Structure 1
Amino acid sequence: MKCTILHETTGRLRVHLCCGRMTVSQADVLEYYLRAQDGVQAVKVYDRTQDAVVLYEAERGSIIRALATFSFAKAEAMELVPEHTSRALNREFEDKLAVAVMRRCISKLFLPAPITTALALFRSVKYIREGLSALWHGKLSVAVLDATAVTVSMVRGDFATAGSVMFMLHLGEILEEWTHKKSVADLASAMSLRVDSVWQQVNGTEVLTKITDVKPGDRIVIRTGGMIPLDGRVVEGEAMVNQASLTGESMPVAKHPGSPVYAGTVAEEGECVISVEKSSGSGRYDRVVRMIEESEKLKSTAEDKASRMADRLVPYTLGGTALTYLLTRNVTKMLSVLMVDFSCALKLAIPIAVLSAMRESSGYHISVKGGRFLEAVAKADTIVFDKTGTLTYATPTVAAVVPFGGHDEAEMLRLAACLEEHYPHSMANAVVAEAKRHGLTHEEYHSQVQYVVAHGISSMVEGKKVIIGSAHFVFEDEGCCIPEGEQAKFDTLPAAYSHLYLCIDGELAAVICIHDPLRREAREAVRALHESGFTNVVMMTGDNRRTAETVAAEVGVDAVYAEVLPEDKAAFIRREKAKGHTVIMVGDGVNDSPALSEADAGIAISTGAAIAREIADITVASEDLFALVTLRRLGEALMARIHGSYRFIVGFNLTLIALGVAGVLPPATSALLHNGSTLGISLRNMADLLDDEENTQK
């Protein structure tokens, strides 16, 4: 497309597209097309002027070529634009605001008094109806205050004041709705699914397929712990699906052939084949928005307190209004008091502070499902870590494969990878990666895979039962044995590694030694968590005691528990909560799910199992444990902002009431200052809590 360079500096271009009129959707297409180019840091598109500003660190020539070859049709076909963007929302409310102001100006400047009076009477119906409706339902709300102010003005024949009051109320409604919807939209976009590929069923076999290549009608396979990334319907198998993120149901729902399933839910148990009905991105956003707006998880204790206080203050405002009139017999002063209420600011600004904090968290690759959890993080004194994939790297490696019973080392690694690839835990990933590194292909030649939570995997291969998992699973639960004459070899297995045991037909066939290196920042991160106020940092793991104690000593935790089962972790958290502690759990596996549910705030590492991310209240995508320190600072800063907002709202509005009673402020000015302060505190609460310097952690 033909473009003109309007201005240029090093790493920055401002160009004008010679395309005539640019629609809002076309502006989004251009923006996301340019963002997708290598080396582009930021893009801003101005649809009204058909201009685009590009910040880049790549070669200038590559940016010019990208602009020269751009066309809206080609870029739209690339499907780069998310289902929803904030540009259309902003334009909608910009237009609403402009229309409201223009109507007011025309009314004041050009319309005669009889017409403005008629318009005031017509517009007052809405406010009076809402006030009467609130009274009918036994509620003394802000609607009653607004209706009383409008009615008193018109009864006095002061239609100019009534018109000014309704204009300010209308502006306040537009700005409040805009602010709230933008906060929700920003957060919903940040909570989009991050699923790259799925197992697609093709001609009776399973093929790992990019999610963007899956179309309606295709079949995908979902197993225990797996996230359902697309809307569809079960056609084979059965599964218990956790739908809490969409419906709020606390218990998993049984899904049978014919049952609908939804993107973003997780299979807690079982296996099923799903026929896809909606392609990637469809349908998820609106349900996330609904979840954000309706879920009680958004309500922190501070929010609840502010909301209840706002409702309780309305009768006092009405009482103050009546008292003002009785003492002064001045209707103008009485209206000045009516124009000021605490409810709007308290019910808008404080929830927006929470939504903004959740949106800011996503900028640090932290997804938070509600203000209650940020509050829990802010006041927590105990944090419990799983070891594997949490304090250690999420990408452990295979150090050795020790065959038993005369089996071939490469064949055992091939078989282990074939089983493990279906369950994306960090250790399973290590086995699959090692097989790939050795060029070992592992086509599907086993029957249905059964996953046993916190223990291992079981399947049938060529008529023989094959299992892989922990020592407890293979030797105690399954009763497997060590081949005759190889006990000494088994006893000399290196204790420095974690072990996966592979057994065929009840006999040990191989031991896979996993090197699980400690995260380089783990010790400093644990120290920073101690400094931020955590008095008890605990590590709990199913690994052997000697390995666990070595890791615990190195990172500096306060207590370590080894060889524990999932129920042991959850029981420990229950005991600590019973003692009055606020407890956070950090984990990444299916076996961490009970503890994540039990904690005041469960934090999942995003590289772990989907069920852990689904059940967790917070998901951390960062590869750095210092993200937990950032999360703590965000929580503390949010609580400070909420308490500060509360004090400002109450203090400022009390001042307006006092000035109104004193006759200093007329009703319209009181309404202007009240709505202006509500908007101002709301905009302030949308600002970031942390700056870059404050978040420098190391």
Structure 2
Amino acid sequence: MSSLVAAVRRYPLVATTVLLGLIGAVLALGGQTDAVRWLFSGFGLLVAGYETIGMVRRLLRGTLGVDVLAITAIVATVLVGEYVATLIIVLMLTGGAALEDFAVNRAKRELDALLRRAPQIAHRLGAGAGTDTDTDTDTGNGEVEDVPATDVRPGDLLLVRPAEIVPVDGALVSVSAVFDESSLTGESLPVEREAGDAVLSGSINGQAAATIRATATAADSQYQQIIALVEEASASKAPVVRLADRYAVPFTAVSLSIAALAWIVSGDPARFAEVLVVATPCPLLISAPVAFMGGMSRAARNGIIVKGGGVLEMLSRAKTVVFDKTGTLTHGSPTIARVLPEPGFDEDELLVLAASAEQYSSHVLAASVIAAAQTRGLELIGSETANEVPAHGVVARLGAREVTVGKLSFIRERATDAVAAPIEGGELAIYIAVDGRFAGSIVASDTLRENAPQTLADLRALGLRDTVMLTGDARPTAEHIAALVGIEQVQADCLPADKVNAVRGLAHRPVIMVGDGVNDAPVLAVADVGIAMGARGATAASESADVVILIDDLTRAARAVAIGQDTIRIALQSIWLGIALSLGLMVLAAFGFIPATAGALLQEFVDLATILNALRAIGGRRDASVQAQIAARKPAAAGALSR
């Protein structure tokens, strides 16, 4: 009931039209036809007057839409006494506008989620505070005071607890700490910072509390700058011209010309109205919105939220597709890529020792090492004693052996023969020593999505020939991933502002941007169509995007483009079907073969035909066909990837 009340409040003209239609039906059953005529005609003229005001305003801005013909048709039907046709035209006019408004407003969400995620509270340390971060309440020499992040000033000493978001930009005071900066820079692997290093607001602290000294206010920090970029990018987007309005001017001109010519030749002014009755713009007013709603419904069934009909049109015309790397083309979480044992150890033994020690570590890669061991069915060893040195490694006693796992410098303190592992860009190695002897290393990486190459192939088949990667990762990593999936252009080491400028500079438009994470929110907003991988990505990206993929499946990006192309094709078919049928009826009416009453009835059959055709955009059969094609090609895609 509440949703019905909200709909009535949002679309009062539609509700009033339906209500008056019901009242008119009751009056007609009681024989009060004159009352019905005055009711429908008066309401139609009121709506025509209201729409005329809006039409004049649009004309002053230099745009002419399908409303011109609708207003003319309403007035003409009133003049010839076709009051039922008057109400139907009003319903089509207001109903079509309501459908388009509903679709468009799904794209106008505020950035509430982005603002909610922005750090609100900071833990400010007192003047006597030290840097001991082993406690949540104080540092031994000073009290912790919770203050709004907006009250923090440069120079303030702040405590950032485990897994908390850094409230403002600062410099690390603690000896070392680990931060997750993936939502800011796109780097999926954890970043280790030493005392004096810069720490970005919006990054997430690791498993050990850290102390930072603020270097900027909240308003001047990295996270707020990203929010400002999103707002600026959203405001800079050009509005989408309604699909039906592109055909309104020629259709209106042709309709009025035929009607005027019929009046002049016949000398009967009623002929003018008879032509306009069958020239009502209902196919233009309603078929495109119905097709758009069908396409949006089809997308939703495929786990894709499309925020408006204009987005579907942009998808159908797109020429360039841009990808983020981390979390988009790759899985966005580190996995074990290689186990490199030294002589005297094998892979399983090294993995068991490392995973057993990592049970007592809070490092982000500990879970990946343990998962790799469990996947191989290896049984972990319990530890008698274990000691973790935050951001460096862990030392554990496993039976008779002392096992040390951690960064290379930490291992070299205990095993001087330790050597660096051969790693590529985007990879990270952890090292293992056993009883003071170097035992080997384990390399973790962010792996490519298995369906990424097929997604690129599907997009090319749909006509998107230009492919670009924008990433905050280093160039070697970016070029390696781009080569695997077949992306032509690569820009690496990008900050959010760099991505925005790169997308704005692309020549072949419209441009689709596919990404996730806070760092992608501005570029998703500025692209002609922003597609957010919303299953695991930051809510900020989903809020600023035009399309949100709710399933962790990159192929849905290509499917969104296919749905957009199908929807626009069906919408155009429906528009042209309505125009063709209306033109045929107009010619017959011009020669006097169709009276106004019969014309109104025939026009409703035209409307019905266009609406039924537009409903094909729901596309149940096409989705089943796509699913069958995907199932058939899965083995081939997997084989191509494994090679």
Instruction: Tell me if both proteins adopt one fold, taking TM over 0.5 as the criterion.
Output: yes
How far the C-alpha of 1:650 sits from its partner, in A, is: 2.1
How far the C-alpha of 1:671 sits from its partner, in A, is: 1.7
Alignment of 1:526-541 (within 5 A): 526-541=456-471
How far the C-alpha of 1:398 sits from its partner, in A, is: 6.3
What is the RMSD of the two structures over their aligned residues, measured on CA atoms? 5.8
Equivalent position to 2:326, from 388, 394, 405: 388
Q: Which residue of 2 aligns with 1:623?
A: 552
User: C-alpha separation between the residues in 2 aligned to 1:271 and 1:626?
Assistant: 28
1:269 aligns with 2:224: yes
Equivalent position to 2:574, from 612, 637, 645: 645
> Residue 263 of structure 2 contacts residue 270 of structure 2 at CA under 8 Å; is this kept in 1?
no
Q: Which residue of 1 aligns with 2:453?
A: 523
1:152 aligns with 2:79: yes
1:354 aligns with 2:292: yes
Equivalent position to 1:141, from 54, 68, 88: 68
Q: Which residue of 1 aligns with 2:399?
A: none
1:556 aligns with 2:486: yes
CA, structure 1 residues 619+223, in 2 after alignment: closer, same or farther (shift >3 Å)? farther
User: C-alpha separation between the residues in 1 aligned to 2:254 and 2:262?
Assistant: 12
**Structure with the larger RCO, 1 or 2 (CA within 8 Å, 6+ apart):** 2
| Deviation string, structure 1 residues 136-174 (Cα, Å, up to 9, x no partner) | 788583464245434533xxxxxxxx2xx2123324544
Alignment of 1:43-82 (within 5 A): none
> Residue 190 of structure 1 contacts residue 367 of structure 1 at CA under 8 Å; is this kept in 2?
no
Q: Which SS does the other structure have where 1:595 is aligned?
A: helix
Relative to the length of structure 2, the TM-score reads 0.57
1:693 aligns with 2:620: no
User: C-alpha separation between the residues in 2 aligned to 1:135 and 1:84?
Assistant: 28
> Residue 279 of structure 2 contacts residue 583 of structure 2 at CA under 8 Å; is this kept in 1?
no
Alignment of 1:100-499 (within 5 A): 100=21, 103-104=24-25, 107=28, 111=31, 115-131=32-48, 139=56, 141-142=68-69, 144-153=71-80, 162=81, 165-174=82-91, 268-269=223-224, 300-301=240-241, 303-304=242-243, 306-307=244-245, 309-310=247-248, 313-314=251-252, 317-397=255-335, 416=363, 491-492=420-421, 494-495=423-424, 498-499=427-428
Q: Which SS does the other structure have where 1:141 is aligned?
A: helix
Instruction: State the one-letter code of the partner of 2:473.
Output: D
How far the C-alpha of 1:528 sits from its partner, in A, is: 2.3
Q: Which SS does the other structure have where 2:473 is aligned?
A: coil
User: C-alpha separation between the residues in 1 aligned to 2:426 and 2:54?
Assistant: 67
> Residue 237 of structure 2 contacts residue 526 of structure 2 at CA under 8 Å; is this kept in 1?
no
Q: Which SS does the other structure have where 1:686 is aligned?
A: helix
User: C-alpha separation between the residues in 1 aligned to 2:540 and 2:50?
Assistant: 45
CA, structure 1 residues 694+169, in 2 after alignment: closer, same or farther (shift >3 Å)? farther
CA, structure 1 residues 587+665, in 2 after alignment: closer, same or farther (shift >3 Å)? same
> Residue 86 of structure 1 contacts residue 182 of structure 1 at CA under 8 Å; is this kept in 2?
no
CA, structure 1 residues 84+319, in 2 after alignment: closer, same or farther (shift >3 Å)? same
How far the C-alpha of 1:628 sits from its partner, in A, is: 2.0
User: C-alpha separation between the residues in 2 aligned to 1:545 and 1:177?
Assistant: 53
| Deviation string, structure 1 residues 264-288 (Cα, Å, up to 9, x no partner) | xxx953999xxxxxxxxxxxxxxxx
> Residue 96 of structure 2 contacts residue 285 of structure 2 at CA under 8 Å; is this kept in 1?
no
> Residue 548 of structure 1 contacts residue 560 of structure 1 at CA under 8 Å; is this kept in 2?
yes
| Deviation string, structure 1 residues 304-333 (Cα, Å, up to 9, x no partner) | 5x3254256546544543432222133443
How far the C-alpha of 1:660 sits from its partner, in A, is: 0.9
| Structure 1 alignment gaps of length 5 or more | 1-23, 26-81, 154-161, 207-220, 227-238, 241-253, 257-266, 273-294, 403-407, 418-426, 439-461, 469-480, 502-510
CA, structure 1 residues 569+488, in 2 after alignment: closer, same or farther (shift >3 Å)? farther
1:605 aligns with 2:533: yes
Instruction: State the one-letter code of the partner of 2:87.
Output: H
User: C-alpha separation between the residues in 2 aligned to 1:351 and 1:148?
Assistant: 24
Instruction: State the one-letter code of the partner of 2:602.
Output: L
User: C-alpha separation between the residues in 1 aligned to 2:315 and 2:247?
Assistant: 24
How far the C-alpha of 1:538 sits from its partner, in A, is: 3.2
| Deviation string, structure 1 residues 478-520 (Cα, Å, up to 9, x no partner) | xxx967967985743644763399xxxxxxxxx9964322222
User: C-alpha separation between the residues in 1 aligned to 2:590 and 2:560?
Assistant: 45
User: C-alpha separation between the residues in 1 aligned to 2:464 and 2:250?
Assistant: 36
User: C-alpha separation between the residues in 2 aligned to 1:622 and 1:483?
Assistant: 41
Instruction: State the one-letter code of the partner of 1:522.
Output: A
Deviates further, 648-657 or 186-195: 186-195
CA, structure 1 residues 120+524, in 2 after alignment: closer, same or farther (shift >3 Å)? closer
CA, structure 1 residues 551+125, in 2 after alignment: closer, same or farther (shift >3 Å)? closer
Q: Which SS does the other structure have where 1:393 is aligned?
A: strand
How far the C-alpha of 1:106 sits from its partner, in A, is: 6.3
User: C-alpha separation between the residues in 2 aligned to 1:296 and 1:345?
Assistant: 32
Q: Which has the larger radius of gyration?
A: 2
Instruction: State the one-letter code of the partner of 1:592.
Output: D
> Residue 346 of structure 1 contacts residue 646 of structure 1 at CA under 8 Å; is this kept in 2?
yes
> Residue 428 of structure 2 contacts residue 443 of structure 2 at CA under 8 Å; is this kept in 1?
yes
Q: Which SS does the other structure have where 2:562 is aligned?
A: helix
User: C-alpha separation between the residues in 1 aligned to 2:274 and 2:497?
Assistant: 61
Instruction: State the one-letter code of the partner of 2:625.
Output: E
CA, structure 1 residues 271+366, in 2 after alignment: closer, same or farther (shift >3 Å)? closer
| Structure 2 alignment gaps of length 5 or more | 57-66, 124-135, 138-163, 168-181, 184-200, 203-216, 228-234, 341-354, 381-388, 394-407, 431-440, 634-643
1:585 aligns with 2:585: no
Q: Which SS does the other structure have where 1:542 is aligned?
A: coil
> Residue 278 of structure 2 contacts residue 599 of structure 2 at CA under 8 Å; is this kept in 1?
yes
User: C-alpha separation between the residues in 2 aligned to 1:255 and 1:686?
Assistant: 50
| Deviation string, structure 1 residues 339-380 (Cα, Å, up to 9, x no partner) | 133533313322332233223212211122233433333233
> Residue 130 of structure 1 contacts residue 143 of structure 1 at CA under 8 Å; is this kept in 2?
no
User: C-alpha separation between the residues in 1 aligned to 2:271 and 2:225?
Assistant: 68
